[in-house]
Amino acid sequence: METLPGDFLCFPQLNSSCKKPTHPHTEAMLIYVLLSSISLITVVLNLLVIISICHFRQLHSPTNLLILSLAVSDLLVGLLLMPVEILYIEACWFLGDILCTAYYLVDYVITSASVANMVLISADRYIAICDPLHYPTKVTTRRVQNYVCFGWISSAIFRFFLLHDHLEKPGRSNSCLGECVVVINYAAGVADLVFTFIIPILCIIVLYLRVFVAALSQARAMRPRVAAPTARRAVTAKKKEMKAAGTLGLVVIVFLFCFCPYYYPALAGKDTSIDASSAAFDIWLAHFNSCLNPVIYAFFYPWFRKSIQLITTLQILKPGSCDANVL
């Protein structure tokens, strides 16, 4: 084995020390600036969504409760996960094996909860468009709260099961001192692939297709029967329905784009290795989905643009601002 100078080792006094991660100075600065910007944007956008929905009473609805849960999970990605990965781009892992495993456990729980929230939002839009008459009775605030809690709890239980080997023996995947690596075997990787990628994507695609078909069929059924004023209202309704369908379609495309590289090892029949001490492209692309979610779910809504204006101009500090008209 090649002997390296102490300056190149995480623990110079130990032979089992890892080599310090290094990048050319210019490349390292570009990586730091890019990833720090992504982290900051993720935090700011999701924080704006959370403040908007929590502050303005007009936004206290079951649908927005789901968007709020998604924003919380995405905020945690930008606030907790991304900064740790940025700090260890050119540094060794000095926090120990237990915190290494805990970091990945939190990472997995947050990511799974985010995916669960996406499925719930898709189901909510499906009921609102395909069964609007029964929507108020089927989708209540209490029921949505229960589903959100179930999504977070089931994500935690599933991830505890997935990482039980690493929880029993932290650091089992590390090859040397100073790294934080978790290797998920093929069986666990397949389970992760099925329950947090394939099934959610299939659910979203099926719901999206049914929304799309329902929107077209409703528009065709109304067109020959209505008078001109009603026809204009029908066209407006059709545009809203198609916009909702388009939003769901965009969710599918973005989710696939962001998560396919991460799940490629499981799809290829290999073990999944994750290293917190490197700016791995597949991990950051998956986390980048948390930056895009508020754009997809919030910027498509006019109320979010109005809320941003009121928040950034500090109008929300005025008495009675919670009753402002943002719809």
Q: Which token pair is 246?
A: 């388009």
Site of tokens 């499906």: 126
Q: How far is 305 from 318, CA to CA, in rounded Å? A: 19
Tens-digit pLDDT profile for residues 166-217: 788 887 777 777 778 777 777 777 888 888 888 888 888 888 788 778 777 7
Rounded to an integer, the average pLDDT of 222-234 is 55
- Quote the domain boundaries for residue 27: 21-323
What is the model's pTM?
Answer: 0.83
pLDDT at position 143: 92
The 10s digit of each residue's pLDDT in 5-40 is 556 777 777 777 777 777 677 877 888 888 899 999
* 6 within a domain of the structure (yes/no): no
The residues with which 177 forms a beta bridge, in sequence order, are: 17
User: Is residue 40 situated within a structural domain?
Assistant: yes
Backbone angles phi, psi at 274, to 5 degrees: -125, 130
**Cβ pair 76, 110 in contact under 8 A:** yes
Is 15 within the bounds of a domain? no
Integer angstrom CA distances of residue 267 from 16, 192, 261, 262: 33, 11, 10, 10
At 275 the pLDDT is 52
Q: Taking all residues of the chain, what is their mean pLDDT, rounded to a whole number? A: 79
Confidence of residue 1 (pLDDT cuts 50, 70, 90): very low
Whether residue 9 is contained in a domain is answered as no
Burial of 263-273, coded b for 16+ CB within 10 Å and e otherwise, reads: bebbeeeeebe
Dist CA 226 CA 231 (whole Å):
6
Domain assignment present for 308: yes
155 lies in some domain: yes
pLDDT at 231 over 80: no
C-alpha 56, offset from chain centre: 24
The domain that holds 73 is classified in CATH as 1.20.1070.10
pLDDT at 303 over 60: yes
In 3D space, the residue among 69, 68, 38 whose CA is nearest the CA of residue 53 turns out to be 68
Domains in the chain, number: 1
Mean pLDDT value of segment 288-317: 83
8 in a structural domain: no
Task: Specify if 119 maps to a domain.
Answer: yes
Mean pLDDT of 248-267: 73
| pLDDT, mean of residues 77-89 | 85
Phi and psi for 182 in degrees, rounded to 5? Answer: -125, 120
How far apart are the C-alpha atoms of 204 and 207, rounded to whole Å?
5
What confidence tens digit (pLDDT) does each residue in 131-150 have? 888 888 888 999 999 999 99
Give, to the nearest 10 degrees, the angle between helix 25-55 and helix 302-312.
100
